[in-house]
Structure 1
Amino acid sequence: HWPRELLRTLTTHAEVGPPPGAPTGAPSLLSPDAVLRFDWRFTLDGHELTREELHRLAEASRPAVRLRDRWMLVDPAEVRRALDRRDSRVDALTALGAALTGTTGESGDRVPVRATGWLETLRERLTDPDRPGPEPVEPPAELQATLRDYQRRGLDWLHRMTSLGLGCVLADDMGLGKTLTLISLHVHRARQESPPGPTLVVCPASLLGNWQREIGRFAPAVPVRRFHGAARDLEGLADDEFVLTTYGTLRRDAERLAATRWGLVAADEAQHVKNPHAATARALRTVPAGARVALTGTPVENNLTELWAILDWATPGLLGPLSRFRRRWADAAESGTDPEAARRLAALVGPFLLRRRKSDPGIAPELPPKTETDRVVALSPEQTALYEAVVREGLEAVAESDGLARRGLVVKLLTALKQVCNHPAQYLKESDPVLTGRSGKLELFDELLGTIRAEGAATLVFTQYVAMARLLESHLAARGVPTLLLHGGTPVRRREEMVRAFQDGAAPVFLLSLKAAGTGLNLTRAEHVVHFDRWWNPAVEAQATDRAYRIGQDRPVQVHRLIAEGTVEDRIAALLRRKQRLADAVLSGGEAGLTELSDAELAELVVLRGAR
Structure 2
Amino acid sequence: MTPEEWQRSLRRQFGPSQPFLLKNVGKERVFSDFLVTNPASGRTYRVAIRGEEPGVSFCSCPDFATNLLGTCKHVEFALAAVRRRRGGARALREGIRPAYSSVSLVYGARRRVRLRLADAAPRALRRRASGLVDADGFLREDGLARLGDLVEAARRAGHELRVYDDAARFVAAVLEGEERRRRLDRAFPAGAASPAFDGLLRTPLPGYQREGALFACRAGRAILADEMGLGKTVQAIAAAEIAARWLGVERVLVLCPASLKHQWQDEAERFSPRRVAVVGGGRKAREAAWGAPAFLKVAGYDSVHRDLDLIGRWAPQLVVLDEAQRIKSWSTRVATSVKRIESPLALVLTGTPLENRLEELISIVQFVDQHRLGPTWRVLHDHQVVEEGSTRVVGYRHLDRLGESLSPILLRRRKSEVLAQLPERSVKRLLLPLTDAQRALHDENLEIVAKLVAKWRRYRFLSDADQKRLRVALQAMRMACDDAYLLDGKSRSGRKAGEVDALLGDLLAVDGTKVVVFSQWMRMHELLVERLEASGRGYAFLHGGVPSGDRGALVRRFRTDPGCRVFLSTDAGGTGLNLQAASAVVNVDLPWNPAVLEQRIGRVHRLGQSRPVQVFDLVSEDSIEERMLGLLGFKRALFSGVLDGGDPEVRLGGSRLSRFLEAVGEVAAGAEEPPKEAPPLAATALGGGTVPAGTSASHSAPAPQAGTAAPRPGTDVASLLRAGAALLGQLAAAAEAASRGAPGGGLRVEKDPATGRSVLRLELADAEAFLGALAGLAGGFPA
- TM-score over 0.5 (shorter chain): no
Task: Specify the TM-score bucket, using the shorter chain as the normaliser.
Answer: 0.3 to 0.5
Normalised TM-score (structure 1): 0.42
Higher relative contact order (CA 8 A, sep 6+): 1
Normalised TM-score (structure 2): 0.34
